[in-house]
Structure formats: C-alpha cells, structure tokens
Copies of this chain bind each other. A is one copy, B any other.
Amino acid sequence: MPKSRSERELSRLELAVLGLVSKGAPCTTYWIRRQFQGSPSSYFSGSAGAVYPAVRRLEQRRLIAATTERKARRASRRYRLTPSGKRAIKAWLLPPLPAADVAFTMDPVRTRVYYLEALTAPERLKFVDNALAQARLQATLAQAGSVERREAEDLFDYLGSLGAVHEARARVRWLEQVRRTLEQSPG
C-alpha cells in the first residue's frame, strides 16, 4: 500500500518552513523566502519554485493556516501554525533524533582533502592556505553574527549561531593541523 500524501514524512524544506512559521507567525510566504535568502547557510536557495509549493503542501496537510489580511496596505496571506502543526513541530524536535540527522555532515572542503593526492606537493599547500584563509573569514563572520544575536531577543537564534561559530573554528584548527602535517611530510 503506497503511503498517502498526508502521512509521508515532511521534507527538510517543509520542516524548516514549519519552524520559520512557528517563529514568524503571522508571516507571508515572501517573508519565509527572505529568511532563507538571508541565511548564511546556502543549503536552501529560498527560490519561489520551492517555497510556495512547500507552503501550499503544509496548508493542505492542515499544519499551517492562513488568514487573509485585507487591512494591511496590500493583500497577503499570513500563515500561523494550527494545533496539529504545533504537534508536528514537537514531533520533529522531541528525542530521539534520527541517526541520519546526527551522522549527517557534508563539508565540501573535507571532501576535497580526501582527493588531494591528485595535486603536487606545492599545489596542496596552496590549496590548504586558500582554504584556511576562507575558513578564518567564515569564523570571523560567524562570531560577529553570534555577538549580534547575543543581546537580541531570541535566545535560540543565539544558541544556534554559537553552533556555527564552534564549527567554523573547528575547521580552522583542522586545516592548521593539515598544513603542519603537509609541511612535515615528504614532498
């Protein structure tokens, strides 16, 4: 028996949209898109072709509901979570975390390191130096973003951004170690 649309698991995008609605309600799809576009992560582009259909799917499953605001300067559908939407977001957050979500890490820099053999020794060093420079920049940006959120209203935005800081710094330390190893290894 094929799974019906309404019992299939929510996609990552749908989950993220659900979370954004929980924070930004009552919000428009347009606002949701901008959150994706403004996010430092480029995992989702926030393209209209993805977000509008995702919102519609969530609405069809009665996880979110719209109130059409006519009072506002322009007509817009503003969404909020329904009771079952609140249940859905709890089910997503409540332990235990699915193993795949904990194991999941995909770092394009690390992927490249695995295949660095294909370069000459000096090319490898140039690669690492470049990666290091960019990683340091990322770490600085993450730190700045975190400080910015620190005094702000939303504790969980701050705690999340702290995760990005830790990750960025770990990448810097790792690349420094890689550099030292390559310098010492027989070219």
Interface range for A = 35 or more
CA A93 – CA B126 in complex, angstroms?
A: 10
- A11 at the A/B interface (Cβ < 8 Å)? no
Asked whether, in the complex, the Cβ of A131 is within 8 Å of the Cβ of B102, the reply is: yes
Report if A106-B43 is in contact (Cβ < 8 Å); known contacts: A90-B119, A114-B157.
yes
Chain B residue contacts of A126, Cβ below 8 A: 94-95
Segment of A15-23, A26-34, A55-63, A65-73 engaged in the interface with chain B? A15-23
A159 CB-CB contact with B under 8 Å: yes
Q: With a CB–CB cut-off of 8 A, which chain B residues contact A155? A: 117, 181, 185
Task: Count chain B CB atoms within 10 A of each CB in A97, A101, A114 and give the residue with the most.
Answer: A114
Further 9 A-B residue pairs, CB within 8 A, beyond A43-B106, A95-B126, A97-B131: A19-B115, A23-B117, A86-B118, A90-B119, A97-B109, A103-B138, A110-B164, A113-B159, A155-B181
Q: List the interface of chain A (C-beta within 8 A of B).
A: 12, 15-16, 19, 22-23, 40-43, 86, 89-90, 92-97, 99-119, 123, 126-127, 129-131, 134-135, 138, 154-157, 159-160, 162-164, 166-171, 173-174, 177-178, 181, 185
